[in-house]
Amino acid sequence: MKKFNSYFFLYSGLLFFGLYGLIIAVDPYDKLGINVFGLKTKAVASSRENKFYLLESSKDAYEAFILGSSTAHKYHTEDLEALTGLKTFNYAVQHTTPEDYVAIINHIRSMFKPKLIVLQVAFVDLDKNYETDKILYSSPLKDFLGQESKNTYIKEDIFSNNYMTLDALRDTFRVILINIAGEIRHQYLAHGNYIPQKDGTGPVQVVQFSHQNWILDLNRVEMLKKIQKECKDAGINLVVISAPVSIDHLEKIQADPHMNNALKIYKNVLAETFENVHDFTTEKVREFNTTEFFGNSTHPTRKFSKYMLDEIWRKK
Amino acid sequence: MLFNSYIFIFLFLPLSLLTYFLLLKWEKVSAAKYSLFFSSLFFYAYGNVKYSILIMTSILVNYYISEFLMKIKLPSKRKALFYFALLFNIGLLCFFKYMDFFIENVNWLFGSEIGLLKIVLPLGISFFTLQQLAFVIDVYTGQAKENKFIDYGLFVTFFPQLVAGPIVHYKDIIPQFQSKDNKSFKAESLSLGIFIFTIGLFKKVIIADTFAPFASEGFKHVGDLHFFYAWGTSLAYAFQIYFDFSGYSDMAIGLGAMFNIKIPANFKSPYKSTNIVDFWSRWHITLTNFITAYIFTPIVRSMPKMTFPYMMLSMFLAMTIAGLWHGAAWTFVVFGVLHGAAIVIHHNWKKYKIKLPVYVSWPVTFIFVSMCFTMFRAKTVEQAWRIYKGMFGFSGFQLPKGILSTELMNSWGIKYGPHMVNDENIHLALIIICFFIVRKMKNSVEHAQEFKRTHKEALVTAMMFVLCLFGLNRLTEFIYFNF
């Protein structure tokens, strides 16, 4: 009669500590800097680490840089080089906010004397409810954080409840499987370019639609102003692009009064902060409404990214 | 406090169990009961202390009215006291639950602009009010006997069933607290309790909470719901509410078992039902029993004659009231009306010996019930109507991406629709899995009956439990907390 209770507590203890221990050992979100099994890739793309070390180990003297979130992944350095003649590195990383841009520019300037920075700022980047990715604070970029960020990040420890979740459990097993038998995602090639993708012809899926509670983050606006000032003082040509979204995505935003107003605020902030801004969050995207130009509603393909660069440099 | 929280599972529950059984072991029976009573009050008040004042007031008023009813012999005085008790309980419910609904309708009807009171609905008020009403009615009719305050208090506040049922009858609960057999810790009761609690926790945390975002997303975008999305939304909510509510009931039953208290079953595979009467004998069983005994029966007795049409009318009215009990909105009234009408139709078919084969009656019953739950969940009748339109193809027919190849779709002139959430494949897979679970698998009552306390069962229970521990971080309330 007593078997069930004893076994239940025993098995529960073993299972729980076993699974939690596995999650910590795998560290699927790279929050703890642990990699017991020497895994090549983690659940969340380590784009900050990848690009950081790619740049550090490169022998090229880069003069132009492309910054942004994953929405800027598909800018190809060859396309910008063809327009400017400047050796280019694509430093777009996942899930960025202006804190990342400050750190990345600090890193770039610690190694190079850039002449051109193309910075793509997305609508979500200025949303207070869109949290800065905590991976920034455990990545090598943490040593290049702006002064305003140095005191704000919270040190993750192994009892952080980010890892006491089903998602973390799932991603732990996914990371293990991918490392054993799967395809490693988000690989970067020379100069930070993204691995080539096959463009489709189908409809564009609306994704990452999380703007319903958009509130302007004034601290991030200050960071953008700082970026503009530092670039101007250092003689760096800073070209800013508002990250494009597909027409369906844009219309969804415009259909909601709050989001539509937020979009206007975002555009005004960019226009007032930067001297050289190019707005692609417009109706112009209507004629580009297939997966040939947008992999999904927030991620333009190389073709559309090239189109944007061509448009900007044609105007020049 | 939520059952699906770390603080409940690792702090409140072990402490309550330890205190209760230690005191019983030291033969401090009264102290043990009071410890459980105050633990239950603490459980209830966690998060909002004002709630405990309300429930204590309700308990004291009902208990002392019952005491007076048992002592007073004069019929006129007893009647007056009884009506006062009815007024108090129904008045409490009406004030907290229906006042703003009443004001809204007065404003709509008369064009007035009376401000809403915006009263916060106290947790579990519908449940503990019904339980106490049943007790007072039985005292008035001479069916209930005197009880000590602590036994009555425990019957109302016993935390496993306090906030969202099952609606326990005092005849089921009070004798158990008084029984000598239940006054010692039993390892087998703890085992059974853990087993059933874990099944309930799994249903809530792993299944119901996974469906929740799909259902919410669908109800947020009723204008965009084409055929497949409308069905996906309706089914998602039908499964969410079932696993959420039956999961809660299982947890309550499991917790009761840990304290040696048998709480009645509330669900017995309702989605296996082949007609609407069968459905209500399997869904929220304790509510059905309450409605039958305390609403339907008095209505029938008040009818001029005991004929079939009057019985049907009584049933219809009882179900409409049951619908309104769920919430203060027209959607709940319509929910009750639909079920009432369906029950009347069923009885008429039975009278005229109309019978559908199982392969027709089951899908008809299930689809009807799902659609009623769509009304139940919708914010307005109009919102539900838009989903129904989608379900019947009046809002267009677009496939979710990935069902067929683009080329084939284009050749047939069918488009892919806009997407609601990113994990459509998970949504579809979960619906298929849940159909299998609700149709083919045993329910928790059946599992409990076959429970043998082996170490294999311990392993399976432990696996489910640990998985749930990882799911507790997505803290969500139970749907029936809103009632």
What pLDDT digit, counting tens, does each position of A88-132 carry? 999 999 889 999 999 999 999 999 999 999 999 999 999 988 888
Of the candidates A53, A56, A108, A84, the residue with the CA atom closest to the CA atom of residue A230:
A108
Q: Would an 8 Å CB–CB cutoff place B306 in contact with chain A?
A: no
For residue B274, give both structure tokens.
């082949």
> B122, B96 in Cβ contact below 8 A?
yes
Residues B149 and B229 in one domain: no
CA distance A66 to A76: 9
Look-up: residue for tokens 């006054």? Answer: B183
Q: What pLDDT is recorded for position B89?
A: 93
Q: Of B160, B184, B208, which closes a domain?
A: B184
Q: What pLDDT is recorded for position B466?
A: 97
**Phi first, then psi: what are they for B158, rounded to 5°?**
-45, 115
| DSSP sequence for B169-194 | -HHHHHHHHH-GGGSS--HHHHHHHH
Burial code (b: 16+ CB inside 10 Å, e: under 16) for B232-256 equals bbbbbbbbbbbbbbbbbbbbbbbbb
In this prediction, residues A60-64 reach a mean pLDDT of: 94
Mean pLDDT taken over chain A: 86
> B293, B286 in Cβ contact below 8 A?
no
Residues B176 and B195 in one domain: no
- What are the residue ranges spanned by the domains of chain A? 44-158+185-315
Q: Does domain A44-158+185-315 have CATH number 3.30.930.10?
A: no
> A122, A68 in Cβ contact below 8 A?
yes
Q: What pLDDT is recorded for position B143?
A: 83
Give Rg (Cα) of chain A. Answer: 21
Q: Would an 8 Å CB–CB cutoff place B470 in contact with chain A?
A: yes
- pLDDT-derived band at A187 (thresholds 50, 70, 90) equals low
**Phi first, then psi: what are they for B354, rounded to 5°?**
-90, 125
Q: Do B473 and A161 touch (CB under 8 A)?
A: yes
Q: Are strands A88-90 and A116-121 parallel, antiparallel or unpaired?
A: unpaired
Q: What pLDDT is recorded for position A128?
A: 87
Q: Are strands A299-300 and A294-296 parallel, antiparallel or unpaired?
A: antiparallel
Which range, of A154-168, A222-236, A238-252, B142-156, averages the lowest pLDDT?
A: A154-168
User: What residue of A is the nearest CA neighbor of B461?
Assistant: A8
> B203, B188 in Cβ contact below 8 A?
no
Residues B133 and B253 in one domain: no
User: What residue of B is the nearest CA neighbor of A1?
Assistant: B188
Q: Of B184, B216, B240, which closes a domain?
A: B184
In this prediction, residues A215-229 reach a mean pLDDT of: 94
**Which residues are within 8 A (CB) of B208 and not within 5 positions of it... i.e. 6 or more apart?**
B239, B240, B241, B242, B243, B244, B247
- DSSP-derived secondary structure letter, B205: I
Q: Are strands A237-242 and A64-67 parallel, antiparallel or unpaired?
A: unpaired
> A146, A102 in Cβ contact below 8 A?
yes
- DSSP-derived secondary structure letter, A286: G
Q: Are strands A88-90 and A237-242 parallel, antiparallel or unpaired?
A: unpaired
Q: Using CB atoms, pick whichever of A1, A3, A16 lies closest to residue B455.
A: A3
Residues B295 and B372 in one domain: yes
Residues B139 and B198 in one domain: no
Give the 3-state secondary structure of residue A65.
strand
Give the 3-state secondary structure of residue B140.
helix
Closest approach of A279 to chain B, Cα-based (Å): 25
One digit per residue, the tens of pLDDT, for chain B of length 483 reads: 889 889 999 999 999 999 999 999 999 999 999 999 999 999 998 877 888 888 999 999 999 999 999 888 888 888 999 999 999 999 988 898 898 899 999 998 998 888 888 888 888 888 899 889 989 998 998 888 777 899 999 999 999 998 888 988 888 888 898 888 888 899 999 999 999 999 999 999 999 988 888 888 788 777 767 888 889 899 999 999 999 999 999 999 999 999 999 999 999 999 999 999 999 999 999 999 999 999 999 999 998 888 899 999 999 999 999 999 888 899 999 999 999 999 999 999 999 998 889 899 999 999 999 999 999 999 999 999 999 998 988 877 766 655 555 566 666 666 555 555 556 677 888 899 999 999 999 999 999 999 999 989 999 999 999 999 999 877 565 666 655
Of the candidates A138, A114, A316, A131, the residue with the CA atom closest to the CA atom of residue A227:
A114
Residues B342 and B442 in one domain: yes
Residues B175 and B199 in one domain: no
Cα dist from B357 to B269, B272, B366, whole Å: 19, 14, 14
Of the candidates B205, B258, B212, the residue with the CA atom closest to the CA atom of residue B469:
B205
Q: Which residues of B are catalytic?
A: 326
Give Rg (Cα) of chain B. Answer: 24
Q: Do B458 and A4 touch (CB under 8 A)?
A: yes
State the alpha helices, DSSP H only, in B111-226.
125-140, 149-157, 159-162, 170-178, 187-202, 209-220
Q: Do B469 and A164 touch (CB under 8 A)?
A: yes
Q: Of B184, B210, B226, which closes a domain?
A: B184
- Output the CA angle B146-B147-B149, nearest 5 degrees: 135
Residues B165 and B234 in one domain: no
CA distance A27 to A20: 10
In this prediction, residues A74-99 reach a mean pLDDT of: 94
- pLDDT-derived band at A312 (thresholds 50, 70, 90) equals very high
- End-to-end distance of chain B based on CA atoms, in angstroms? 16
Closest approach of A35 to chain B, Cα-based (Å): 22
Q: Do A205 and B401 touch (CB under 8 A)?
A: yes
Q: What pLDDT is recorded for position B481?
A: 60
Residues B69 and B161 in one domain: yes
Q: Would an 8 Å CB–CB cutoff place B220 in contact with chain A?
A: no
Other Cβ atoms less than 10 A from the Cβ of A268: the count is 11
Is residue B1 a part of any domain in this protein?
A: no
CA distance A155 to A134: 9
Residues B173 and B211 in one domain: no
Q: Could you list the residue range(s) of the whole structural domain that residue B139 is in? A: 6-184
* The amino acid at A32: L
Domain count, chain B: 2
- pLDDT-derived band at A189 (thresholds 50, 70, 90) equals confident
Q: Do B466 and A12 touch (CB under 8 A)?
A: yes
* The amino acid at B213: P
**Phi first, then psi: what are they for A61, rounded to 5°?**
-100, 90
3-state SS string over A93-157?
Answer: CCCCCHHHHHHHHHHHHHHCCCCEEEEEECHHHHECCCCCCCHHHHCHHHHHCCHHHHCCCCCCC
User: Can you tell me the ipTM of this complex?
Assistant: 0.86
Q: Do A161 and B187 touch (CB under 8 A)?
A: no
- DSSP-derived secondary structure letter, B74: -
Residues B359 and B421 in one domain: yes
Burial code (b: 16+ CB inside 10 Å, e: under 16) for B444-476 equals bbeebeebebeeebbbebbebbbbbbbbbbeeb
Cα dist from B391 to A189, A288, B233, B369, B399, whole Å: 48, 32, 9, 14, 13
Of the candidates B181, B199, B150, the residue with the CA atom closest to the CA atom of residue B260:
B181
Of the candidates B53, B449, B444, the residue with the CA atom closest to the CA atom of residue B269:
B444
User: What residue of A is the nearest CA neighbor of B467?
Assistant: A166
Is residue B249 a part of any domain in this protein?
A: yes
Residues B269 and B356 in one domain: yes
Of the candidates B125, B132, B144, B146, the residue with the CA atom closest to the CA atom of residue B53:
B125
Q: Would an 8 Å CB–CB cutoff place B467 in contact with chain A?
A: yes
Query: Which run of H or E residues covers position A78?
Result: helix A77-84
Q: What pLDDT is recorded for position B477?
A: 58
Q: Would an 8 Å CB–CB cutoff place A202 in contact with chain B?
A: yes
* The amino acid at B290: F
Is residue B429 a part of any domain in this protein?
A: yes
The strand pairing partners of A90, in sequence order, are A66
Give the 3-state secondary structure of residue A289.
coil
Cα dist from A174 to A40, B309, B471, whole Å: 13, 62, 17
Best residue in B419, B421, B467 to probe A by mutation, most A CBs within 10 Å? Answer: B419
